[in-house]
């Protein structure tokens, strides 16, 4: 399941980051690492961006970025 498909309050454990480029490196630097717990806190009215909680802090991700994060509930 992709992080962009989760609703507020849902989340899980990061399984995989899709792709192998500079954007993935940036996501990993922000704490989105395989095995880390992540939860969607809220979604903007038009669906972009998503506010997520990861490693005890909150982060805003564009929907395109959230589409790259695969999670298991």
pLDDT in tens, 12-38: 999 999 888 898 899 888 889 899 999
Residue 41, pLDDT > 90, answer yes
**Residue range 33-54: average pLDDT?**
92
Query: Sign of the CA dihedral 68, 2, 55, 61?
Result: positive
Q: Give the pLDDT of residue 73.
A: 87
Distances (CA, A) of 9 to 20, 23, 28: 28, 25, 22
- Domains identified in the chain, total number: 1
Q: Give Rg (Cα) of the chain.
A: 11
- CATH number of the domain at 67, please: 2.30.30.90
Task: State which residues form the domain around 53.
Answer: 3-72
């Amino acid at each position: 399941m992709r992080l962009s498909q989760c609703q507020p309050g849902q989340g899980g454990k990061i399984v995989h980051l899709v792709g192998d480029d500079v954007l993935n490196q940036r996501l990993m630097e922000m704490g989105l690492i395989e095995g880390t717990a992540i939860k969607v806190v809220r979604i903007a009215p038009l669906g972009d961006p998503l506010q997520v909680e990861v490693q005890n802090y909150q982060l805003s991700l564009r929907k395109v970025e959230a589409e790259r994060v695969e999670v298991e509930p």
